[in-house]
Amino acid sequence: MADAYVYAVTRVHIHEQKLLNRQDFEHLLAAGGVPEAIRLLSDKGWGSAELPRGDVSALIDFELGRAWAFMGELVDDLSPFDTLRVAADYHNLKAAIKLDFSGDAALDRAQHYVNHGTLAVDTLENAAKAHDFSVLPEAMAKAGQAAYEALAHTGNGQACDIEIDRAALLAMAQAGKKSKSALLAQYATLTVDTANIKAAVRCCKMHKDRAFIERVIVPAGTLDTHALMAAAELGPEAIYLCLKDTAYAEAVEALKVSLAAFERACDNKLMALIRPQRLNYFTLEPLVAYILARENEIQMVRLILSALENHFDGDTLRERLRESYV
């Protein structure tokens, strides 16, 4: 298996040369609008002649699909990546339930679903249409049923989101623990911890009660979630104090600025975590690092294109950009 990884990692290193660097992002920021930015991306190999011209969503979806298709070329079995892929399953489940509820299930699937999950989209769609989620894995079936009932009884999309987002984080945490990849385990922990911290801050700002807080902060990750829940009831300073002796102590100053600044600090932490894996030729880790780098790159391009569409200030946007992998 080690020999197979040597070949795969060698191909990954070739593809890493195509990743966008900081200078590329600066050029995108300086673009006169979305059409110019898309032309710059095209020069870097982004997109396809078959994509609708100027369609940002189609471009983003295409590149994400391309990244996972490349992984499929490198390995016969994508199950070692399940820590990353389960998020796509829950995204698709949420989309299927909401589309069925709204009556828009006949719309173009590409606009709503991603194709790198562990479950076929058809399976999730059929479960949502039948309002029977028993064919899904047990935890997902429970989340799907609860989300559907919450949406059907209240018409509240947020109630649906809470059920599925909570289950998705728990599934990722579980997959991370089962993974043989130390990097994937660390990624899962970072993702869950970050989500719990952001949930605590939002609950605090919105003056949510303890019952609501317990629904959105999941019992997983490295943080003392009971302490975090109590802090969310008390106020921002209590949250900062709760994080003082944790792995997220350095991100507290960013958290005091804004949630966006905190997210940036955590994403930069991830980039610092994955860069050393490029030197390892004999394990899955460099492949995991590459797909995470691509997802980070795509996220930044999405942010820039959205900002250009809405005429946001470039200097403000620069403060939100993550570090690039290369």
**Is the pLDDT reported for residue 318 higher than 80?**
no
pLDDT, tens digit, 9 for 90 and up, residues 25-68 = 999 988 989 999 999 999 999 999 899 988 999 999 999 999 99
Query: Quick check: 89 pLDDT over 60?
Result: yes
Q: What is the pLDDT of residue 130?
A: 95
Residues 6+ apart with CB under 8 A from 119: 89, 92, 136
pLDDT of 112 above 80: yes
CA angle 213, 114, 61 (to 5 degrees): 110
| Cβ atoms 5, 281 nearer than 8 A | yes
Please list, in sequence order, all residues whose beta carbon lies within 8 angstroms of the beta carbon of residue 214, skipping any fewer than 6 positions away.
229
pLDDT at residue number 91: 96
pTM: 0.91
pLDDT at 273 over 70: yes
Q: What is the pLDDT of residue 139?
A: 96
Higher pLDDT, 44 or 2: 44
Query: Which pLDDT does position 155 carry in this prediction?
Result: 85
Residues whose CB is less than 8 angstroms from the CB of residue 28 and which lie 6 or more positions away in sequence, other chains included = 37, 40, 41, 301, 304
pLDDT of residue 110: 60
Residue 1: what pLDDT? 55
Task: Please say if the pLDDT value at position 281 is more than 90.
Answer: no
Q: In 3D, which of 112, 237, 83, 267 has the Cα closest to residue 175?
A: 83
Query: Residue 244, by phi and psi: left (phi above 0), alpha (psi -120 to 50) or beta?
Result: alpha
Give the pLDDT score at 322: 82
